[in-house]
Structure 1
């Protein structure tokens, strides 16, 4: 299915102007993977157990310059089931090199819990945090959407405690397109709400060091 066709389908599923990035931003992921990708069980690459594991590694608190961990589902008024998970870390020795961050990310977008949709996972290649806001990017290493494998995607998380917020680099273009040209640590504002009771994100603030002279 071409990107143009997928966009038209997404617009029919979620009525409203294309400028409504919440409607467009993730709807395309469902359409792209709905042609035969049932990915909800824990036995699949996109399963819930794997998502939880991606955000569950303990912090290496005293050795880290920054971190973004945890998993949660996005708030939706429809049956859609959208989950993001992060396990991103910047070692203390790399305080001034956010492009040396390591870790993993994963996202899943199903038409309903246990239904069909798309999933992707990958390795983190940049992480910057300011206060309780984190921006990270990574390379997709495995997915059921073949056109996006090898591309870079970005994420932004605002750690608000009771109801975090999430943004992603494809918010304004309809869906992750496999681009390799996205600059590191680039994403959209955290415009999406996390569904209460589905998980939580934790951001460790980054404190870059500068010359004092």
Structure 2
């Protein structure tokens, strides 16, 4: 379930590419796949990931750069999947939805990834997430009241539906405008991946 691709894309090379390659530089079936008939009504970059995925953790600096690079052109959406981590994978999804409601999702993502992949502290119960949020300044009562709220359950349902609709069974994956699945193995550098995203954002 962990998607493997060229190690070179994991290297943060510094400056992001600001120039979009010519349209004929990227080919359907080579650099991207069409996975839906219609695009989203707004430009969107959606990152499918799991907190249990080591590659996803390694790529977070790049995805943070991508979010900043396109902040005035497209929305950047995190889409955690439920394919890894068992029940704790679902817990991590719901906790992210709570963090988004509380507008601390960047902090939550950074903290949980570090806890798991640097500190080796893997959540094994619901209470572990309660304590994590308490460490972020969120009282247990606040977390619990939001945890099973309709907005949280609806968000998780949407994430799961998109994962199923796009027939994704590996992470990380990036879908542009709800229609184009990037083939991350087809590029060698971060700059090329940025250019691919920029190109796909121009398509209908």
Between the two structures, name the one with larger relative contact order (CA 8 Å, sep ≥ 6): 2
Greater fraction of residues in helix: 2
Same fold by TM (over 0.5)? no
- TM-score, scaled relative to structure 2: 0.24
Greater fraction of residues in strand: 1
- TM-score, scaled relative to structure 1: 0.24
